[in-house]
Structure 1
Amino acid sequence: MNEELEKIQKARLVLQKIAKGINPVNGEQIEQESFLNDPRIIRCFYYVAEVLDNVAKGAYSSRRSGPGAAKFFITPEQKARVQFPEGKIGVNEFSKCINMCIDLNESKKLTGVELNKRLKALGILSEEQTEEGKTRTVINDNSKNYGFESEKKNYNGVEYEMVMINDKGKQYLLENIEEIMKAEIPSEQKNSDQ
């Protein structure tokens, strides 16, 4: 069993490196044009890395039976343990930091998608239609007041805007995460991916 846990942890570390744009074999940056730098692929790697981490901790099951499993729940003690990286981060990184401190037997896991939906419902973020007919999350006039900014990113020579959370935003989200996660999502947003 110990050998299996080691394999899971090694696989998780490899996936995390790839998600951060680092070649796990040689430690060099992955070429900007690589499909591995596509935000959708990066989200998949982070998700699978989190699943592996939960499996290693014994906290993963497809049907959680804990009392708070259907809802997000965080204690003041767990909040106090949350540590964010320096600088601006995205909602997936924010969620990852929270998930490292909550008890997944007691709480539903926080995801960037769910957090974005709640922030849109509260009017802190907005949604716009792309030329391809897809929806994407964007900042609005209220966003800056809550610590959200838009930053230009580049993937395969295509520029796009990414919503980023600054230090003010990290503090706001952490202090208010329980209330944010209780926000009612409008029915048209419930099936949206972003």
Structure 2
Amino acid sequence: MKEDLTKLLEAKMIIEKLANGVNPIDQSQIDSSHFLNDSKIIRSLFYLVNYLNDEISNSKIIGKPKRFIITEEQIAKIQLPTGKLGLNDFAAAVNEVIDPLFTKKLSGAIVSKKLKELAILSETVNEDGRKRTVTNEISSSYGIEMITRFYDGRPYNQVVFDELGKEFLLNNLNRLFE
């Protein structure tokens, strides 16, 4: 089912690009004399995109999204902030490019859980019994470190990703959620 949804999303994106006069293969503008730039063709392509959106959102194919799914094209559109990045900020940047009708939104907690399962991050229990995500011996080789930040004048530790860490997350986003 996940594979079918991914194929539908990719097909819809290709049709949408064609409707907008963009070659989906190389992202170049389609020549104005090309038959795909005829107004009847363009209207038909947009009609098809809208129809696919309606059919997919009203069908039993998806219901309320239960899984996180992202296409390679969507990953390529992710704009990450410069500098060191926390997991919640990473998730927010990813959520900017996904369609919540088709996929569950990403959260920093979900990414953190997946990285702990891979032993890239670890977990500790503090004095008051609360669990905290922390780095471990191998975290730095993935571009992950722990820094101290302040909120309302109180210090707290945050797991952050440098450029290497951001590249790792982007390159492995689909593998993390298989």
The TM-score with structure 1 as length reference comes to 0.58
Equivalent position to 1:69, from 65, 72, 80: 65
Equivalent position to 2:77, from 76, 81, 85: 81
Distance 2:61 2:94 in 1: 20
2:99 corresponds to 1:99? no
1:9-53 per-position Cα deviation (integer Å, ceiling 9, x unaligned): xxxxxxxxxxxxxxxxxxxxxxxxxxxxxxxxxxxxxxxxxxxxx
Distance 1:155 1:68 in 2: 35
Tell me which residue corresponds to 1:149.
Answer: 145
Distance 1:175 1:68 in 2: 27
Query: Alignment length, in residue pairs?
Result: 120
The residue identity in structure 1 corresponding to 2:118 is L
Distance 2:174 2:129 in 1: 32
**Structure 1 stretches of at least 4 aligned residues deviating more than 3 Å after TM superposition:** 155-158
Distance 1:164 1:108 in 2: 23
Which has the higher Rg, Structure 1 or Structure 2? 2
2:132 corresponds to 1:136? yes
Equivalent position to 2:119, from 111, 117, 123: 123
The TM-score with structure 2 as length reference comes to 0.62
Unpaired runs of 5+ residues, structure 1, are 1-60, 183-194
Distance 1:68 1:119 in 2: 25
Distance 1:103 1:157 in 2: 37
Q: 1:88 to 1:114 in 2, by over 3 A?
A: same
Distance 2:171 2:64 in 1: 20
The residue identity in structure 1 corresponding to 2:136 is N
Equivalent position to 1:175, from 164, 168, 171: 171
Distance 2:122 2:154 in 1: 22
Give SS of 1:83's match: coil
Identical-pair percentage: 40
Pairwise CA distance, 1:67: 7.0
Pairwise CA distance, 1:121: 0.6
